[in-house]
Amino acid sequence: MTPTNLAATTGTGLEEWLAAIDRRTARVGIIGLGYVGLPLALLFSEERFRVTGFDVDATKVSTLAAGNSYIHRIEPDHIQAAQRNGFCATTDFAAITGMDAVLICVPTPLNEDHTPDMSYVVSTIESIAPHLRAGQLVVLESTTYPGTTEEIIVATINRHGSAKGLRVLRGETAGLASNELDGVMVAFSPEREDPGNMITPRREIPKVIGGVDVRATAAASALYGSVFCKTVPMSTPAAAEMTKLLENIYRCVNIALVNELKQLCVPMGIDIWEVIEAAATKPFGFQAFYPGPGVGGHCIPVDPFYLNWKAQQFGIQAKFIELAGEVNEAMPSYVVQCTARALERNGSALKGARVLVLGVAYKRDVDDLRESPSLIVIEKLRHAGAQVEYNDPFFPEVGRGRHYDLHMLSTPLEDLDRFDCVLILTDHSLYNYGEIVSQAKLVVDSRNATRSIDSSKIVRC
């Protein structure tokens, strides 16, 4: 792709910037074309914006250039339709100058010691800062601790810009912010997507926005407001950063609670899923969360530790966060113990047992392995001497990743009576659970996927 300088708003004020959004002449650059960035690029493209995607992964860029997709739920047709609308992808960050808005969607994982790994955010802003110009809007979408936008994004832009007199725009008070765009606008707007959720379309998830000043909030609200059903402007980037963490910590803590209650309900002979469904009939004050073999994905097991790390800088121990992490991280061991007990009751030992794990994705119907508890369960089963195979329609093979080293191929779902136990870890909707139960000798179900099947072969854990 040729770097362009077709920015619609160079050298103009906020009103012209907003008009360029209305006219769809504003150019949108998305940095990081992963699970968040690529669908976001397609959303803007559907709304007739000319979108350029930036990624350091040349394979992703060439896959997109060929009109193909590397994310299961995105069809090549969708990429090709966007291309007809002007969408292209590049590894050339010089093209940033031609954008009016630059939205950053790069990873924010954890280091081994559970501290934030900010290297992707830092290297992204270091790469784009030399190419920024007055009148552009830069938005960080990556989930992170409160203070990141100011401490990393704003600070880096100001450091790079100082030689050429470019700064991040900051009105001292709302009243002082003018129409003039003689600097860079910066905001934080978290991605709140729920992968695999077919009920709430992404554009119907309100977009929380916290700008460094009112011009940034206004510009980001106009941009996202043209794609999303609703925007939620906030007073600062830090408040918006904290909002995203509150949402994910709320999930993490509540999942830990039901995971703990599940472990209590099993010996009491109470069905935790029945209890949750009954509690959920209350029209107020209760939201249903469900137990499982642990938590996975790029958000729930990771994000709470971002806040925990920041809390320590303020001398505060985030006890809820730590306890929830502890309970959720213990779930894979609990599932392995349940499997061992179920096998014993069936007359065999875990050591030497043939176990088929169903589902390695971190949750139902997604092609995402990140932080999946299934991978930990497999490692623990192997460690206990079990002969483990797996099946997952989304993953023909599982090799080596950040926290695992498995090198396994997906086993076809046939002759299930070869296995001493079939262990359901991810309840993909493609599976025919009735057929699985009828073929298997023993089924250990950590997801209540077999809820409608009555069979003595099933052990729910």
Ligand X SMILES: NC(=O)c1ccc[n+]([C@@H]2O[C@H](COP(=O)([O-])OP(=O)(O)OC[C@H]3O[C@@H](n4cnc5c(N)ncnc54)[C@H](O)[C@@H]3O)[C@@H](O)[C@H]2O)c1
Q: What is the spatial distance between Cα 381 and Cα 406, in angstroms, rounded to a whole number?
A: 12
For residues 120 and 273, which CB has a smaller minimum distance to ligand X in the complex?
Answer: 120
Closest CB to ligand X among 75 and 274?
Answer: 75
57/322 with CB nearer ligand X:
57
Residues 288-327 that bind ligand X (CB under 6 A): 298-299
- Please report whether residue 211 would count as binding ligand X according to CB under 6 A: no
Whether 338 sits among the annotated catalytic residues: the reply is: no
- Report how far residue 461's alpha carbon sits from residue 459's, in angstroms, rounded to the nearest whole number: 6
Q: What is the dihedral of CA 21, 26, 28, 29, to 10 degrees?
A: -150
Catalytic residue among 105, 299, 338, 461: 299
- 140 touching ligand X, by CB under 6 A: no
Q: What angle do CA 407, 409, 411 make, to 5 degrees?
A: 145
Residue 34 lies near ligand X (rule: CB under 6 A): yes
Nearest distance, CB of residue 281 and ligand X, angstroms: 30
| Shorter beta-carbon distance to ligand X: residue 3 or 13 | 3
**Nearer of residues 57 and 150 to ligand X, judged by Cβ:** 57
Number of residues forming the site for ligand X (CB under 6 A): 27
Q: Smallest distance from the beta carbon of 392 to ligand X, in angstroms?
A: 18
Check binding of 237 to ligand X (CB under 6 A). Answer: no
Q: Does 150 bind ligand X (CB under 6 A)?
A: no
Candidate list 45, 108, 328, 426; residue touching ligand X; CB under 6 A? 108
Site for ligand X contains 35 (CB under 6 A): yes
Using CB under 6 A as the binding rule, whether residue 60 contacts ligand X is answered as yes
Question: 403-422: which residues touch ligand X (CB under 6 A)?
Answer: none
- Residues 177-206, mask of contacts with ligand X (x by CB under 6 A): --------------x-x-x-----------
The DSSP secondary-structure symbol of 204 reads G
Q: Taking a C-beta distance cutoff of 8 angstroms, is the pair 388, 381 a contact?
A: yes
The number of beta carbons lying within 10 Å of the beta carbon of residue 162 is 10
Residues 66-95 vs ligand X: string with x where CB under 6 A?
Answer: ------------------------------
Helix runs in 67-163, H state only: 76-84, 119-128, 148, 155-161
Q: With contact defined as beta carbons under 8 Å apart, do 391 and 398 qualify?
A: no
Are the beta carbons of 374 and 359 closer than 8 angstroms? yes
Distance CA 400, CA 109 (A): 17
Token reading at 267: 């010996």
- In whole angstroms, what is the distance from residue 232 CA to residue 245 CA? 16
Q: Are 365 and 433 in contact (CB under 8 A)?
A: no
Q: Residue 178's closest CA among 170, 189, 188? A: 170
Contact 100, 8 (CB under 8 A): yes
Cβ closest to ligand X, residue 74 vs residue 257: 74
Q: Does 328 bind ligand X (CB under 6 A)?
A: no
* Binds ligand X by CB under 6 A, chosen from 52, 90, 97, 124: 124
Alpha-carbon gap, residue 109 to 251, rounded angstroms: 18
Q: Given candidates 14, 105, 138, 177, which one binds ligand X under the rule CB under 6 A?
A: 105
Which residues are at the interface with ligand X (CB under 6 A)? 31-37, 54-57, 60, 105-108, 120, 123-124, 127, 142-143, 191, 193, 195, 298-299
The catalytic residues are 299
